[in-house]
Structure 1
Amino acid sequence: MIVKPKPVAKATPKALYQRIRSDLEAKITSGDWPPGHRVPFEHELMETYSCSRMTVNKVISALAEAGLVVRRRRAGSFVSRPRVQSAILQIPDLKGEVEKRGERYEYRLLDLRKRLASARDRTRLGVATGSQILAVCCLHEAQGQPFAVEDRLINLEAVPDALREDFSKTPPNTWLVGHVPWTEAEHRITACNADKALAKELRIDEGAACLVIERRTWRNGEPITAVRISHPGHLYDLIARFTPIG
């Protein structure tokens, strides 16, 4: 009697989807694909797994939803960087936060100008007409990738030493945290869609979601600084731990 071999059952779309996702997740969580690594393009995965574009797209979408990859239009998908967590009621040192998680910190001054406060500056900083301010814009990076754009105004009447500091080398955030005392601070947390200029500096798609932290500080009622820090939405968390009152 001749025994015919049983035909090998083809994997169902669901089983294939789970296999591909498990394979990619394992490469990410094991460190084989470090943060910033480009995930193979969809057509490459289709060829590797002999599957449809729909299946591959579903896998990548699920990994993006889980926070494991970031999709960039026209560039592909990349392994996500760990999210930085910061306490809402603290004033963080961005340089220290990046280095604390073992990543290489880099900084670049984009623009620095001493000027008379404009009407918009006066609204942001709360200074009088004719006040001298220092406007500083800079970029913070983690492992060679943009982490935040800092747009800051400093009241020179309150902090005249800011004129003598070399902000091409020292981040204003780091210098202020370490050298300028304050007695009151206000945080405002919002979200925005990156405009063309911000998207270019953060290397994200125009219209991508960003987390925005606006902060003002005072010393005995005198304005010190006002800053707007914009992060790519997938890189930063704000946390608060508290207990019931009363």
Structure 2
Amino acid sequence: MLARYSQIKLAILEQIEAGDMRPGDRVPSENQLTEEFGVSRMTARRALTELVDEGILMRSQGIGTFVSDDRPMSSMLTIRSIHDEITQRGHQHSCQVIQLAEVKACHQMSIWMSVTEGDSLYHSQIVHFENGKAIQFEDRFVNPLLAPAYLQQNFLTITPNQYLNKVAPLTEADHVIEAMLPAMDVAQKLDIAVSQPCLKISRRTFSAQGVVSYAQLYHPGHRYRLGGHLDF
């Protein structure tokens, strides 16, 4: 049986999916949810807060909580698997593996990965889909010493992020976010025009043993957002 806060989340998601609540509509307040579902205010607050963190709702201080626009939103403050992001919105994740190969580190990649130029790296390219629409092109390099079985994984059933967190748990990361126009090959993989702006996230992740991976993540700007909620 679902936890009470999960029941509230599911009820709100079902109303959004059915079109009963549309982007910009105000959702019931904590007090209204408390009365409707017979739960504590803390439980109602948790349901709304998690939906805000997942980008489904947006909170306006002193006004209320509203249905966000219909582009998915990823947190700028946490690193989550794209599969988890999509399924938590109640949508279907699928992917297409473009490449899995062992390559030699070029000069620039040796700097990013803290290896010697010419050392072996694992390289993967995967397109991730949300309800059949391309939402992310993932171009990732991995240190074989920290994830030796990387190329043997079935990335149709587990994402690189999920696998790497199992074998080399994340301790820190740095990333850069920029708006850009995609190169032709990236546009083709995302099924967009080269004139369509993208959000590009360049992310390097570390475990206790060193640099685990360097990934460039491309998202169609009209299908994806970055954001989050901060409490001070």
Scaled by the length of structure 1, what TM-score is found? 0.62
Which residue of the other structure, out of 220, 233, 245, is the alignment partner of 2:208?
220
Q: CA-atom RMSD, angstroms?
A: 2.6
Structure 2: runs of 5+ lacking an equivalent: 1-16, 21-68
1:1-246 matches, cutoff 5 A: 31=19, 82-167=70-155, 169-220=157-208, 222-244=210-232
Q: Report if aligned partners of 1:127, 1:223 keep a CA contact under 8 Å in 2.
A: no
Structure 1: runs of 5+ lacking an equivalent: 1-28, 33-80
Give the deviation of 1:110 after TM superposition: 0.4
Q: Residue 133 of structure 1 aligns to which amino acid in structure 2?
A: L
How many matched pairs?
A: 170
Tell me the distance in 1 between the aligned counterparts of 2:228 and 2:209: 26
Percentage identity across aligned positions?
A: 28
Q: Residue 149 of structure 2 aligns to which amino acid in structure 1?
A: D
Name the SS for the 1:152 alignment partner. Answer: strand
Tell me the distance in 2 between the aligned counterparts of 1:169 and 1:237: 25
Tell me the distance in 2 between the aligned counterparts of 1:180 and 1:220: 8
Tell me the distance in 1 between the aligned counterparts of 2:217 and 2:191: 15
